[in-house]
Amino acid sequence: MLVVCPKCGDSLQALKVFVLSNRNTITCSTCSSKLQVENKNVSSHIGGVGGGVGAVLIILLFFSFSMTSNPIYLGLIVPLFLLLLTLVFLLVDKYVKVKVVETVQ
């Protein structure tokens, strides 16, 4: 399920939606409407939980590396970070809704 423009119904670019925060807007490439997050609490929770889980994973991996000196723990940082980033992207794509702030006529 993709995020769609509420005015024209066109699917928004995934990268634009991913960088959309509660404080900025994006522009629909079809109708040029400015859009912002409608359900700001959901967006904040996804970002907060994703950042917290990422921080805990990195701390645990560095701690494990310092205790064992096994480089496999350092090698796990990148794949786990990419997995977490993918999960956050999928959650944003599924649950964040946008609303029209300004329309261009």
Burial 44-68 (b: 16+ CB within 10 A, else e): eebeeebeeebeebeeebeeebeee
The predicted model gives 90-97 an average pLDDT of 83
pLDDT at 81 over 80: yes
Report how far apart, in Å, the C-alpha atoms of 70 and of each of 19, 60, 61, 63, 75 are: 35, 13, 10, 11, 10
32: left (phi over 0), alpha (psi -120 to 50) or beta: left
Q: How long, in residues, is the chain?
A: 105
pLDDT at 59: 92
Give residue-wise pLDDT tens across range 63-74: 998 999 998 988
Residue 95 Cα to chain centre, angstroms? 11
pTM of the model: 0.72
Angle at 21 between CA 17 and CA 27, to 5 degrees: 50
Average pLDDT for the chain: 86
Going from N- to C-terminal start, the domains of the chain cover: 14-102
